[in-house]
């Protein structure tokens, strides 16, 4: 099973790179980032994982793909992944409230692909990869604990709340240490 992130942001921001890096640590050789058009982004991402200039639509038949979309009608299950080659995740930084960009940028362009959600909340990209990988290994969504809204202390009396869903790994929210340090600096 390949975990494919379709890069959909106009530029590779530091935040996005940190999420991709964390996803690469989670999925290892099974991660592929597609649709990377800018040469500088391609070079930078090639240092952490496999990268492809072409879109996932050009690399896989729609019938081989499961697209993750928080607005999908049905939840992802291990059975959905039989005879599938890839789980496709939008390389999109979330908005609060969600704008439904996954549907516009991916789902509508792959009308014959299976579309599933991993929960009704937005996940970070690396969290989506983690949950999808767990399901691909036979776990059911209800067996994967999730925290919605993560508060990160920045300085005394100051914090930031990330209004997204984070899978819990050994009781701790899955979030990149680099991202936490980035938030503290900015």
Tens of pLDDT, residues 23-37: 999 999 999 999 999
pLDDT at 174: 98
pLDDT at 129: 99
Of the candidates 175, 171, 139, 142, the residue with the CA atom closest to the CA atom of residue 160:
175
Quick: pLDDT tens for 157-174.
899 999 999 999 999 999
Range 73-92 average pLDDT: 97
* Residues ≥6 apart with Cβ < 8 Å to 23: 3, 5, 31, 49, 125, 126, 129
Q: How many CB atoms lie within 10 A of CB 57?
A: 17
Quick: pLDDT tens for 140-159.
999 999 999 999 998 888 99
Strand order through the sheet with 50-51: 50-51, 31-34, 2-7, 86-91, 65-68, 114-116
Strand partners of residue 51: 33
Fold of the domain spanning 2-143:
Alpha/beta knot (3.40.1280)
Ranges of each domain in the chain: 2-143
């Amino acid at each position: 099973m390949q975990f494919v992130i379709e890069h959909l942001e106009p530029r590779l921001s530091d935040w996005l790179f940190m999420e991709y890096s964390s996803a690469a640590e989670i999925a290892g050789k099974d991660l592929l980032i597609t649709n990377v058009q800018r040469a500088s982004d391609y070079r930078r991402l090639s240092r952490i994982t496999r990268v492809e200039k072409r879109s996932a639509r050009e690399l896989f038949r729609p019938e081989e793909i499961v697209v993750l979309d928080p607005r999908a009608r049905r939840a992802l299950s291990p059975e959905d992944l039989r005879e599938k080659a890839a789980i496709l995740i939008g390389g999109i930084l979330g908005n609060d409230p969600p704008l439904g960009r996954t549907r516009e940028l991916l789902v509508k362009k792959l009308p014959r692909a299976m579309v599933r959600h991993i929960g009704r909340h937005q996940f970070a990209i690396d969290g989506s990869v983690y949950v999808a990988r767990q399901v691909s290994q036979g776990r059911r969504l209800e067996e994967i604990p999730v925290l919605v809204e993560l508060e990160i202390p920045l300085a005394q009396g100051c914090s930031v709340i990330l209004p997204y869903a984070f899978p819990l790994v050994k009781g701790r929210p899955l979030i990149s240490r680099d991202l936490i340090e980035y938030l503290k600096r900015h």
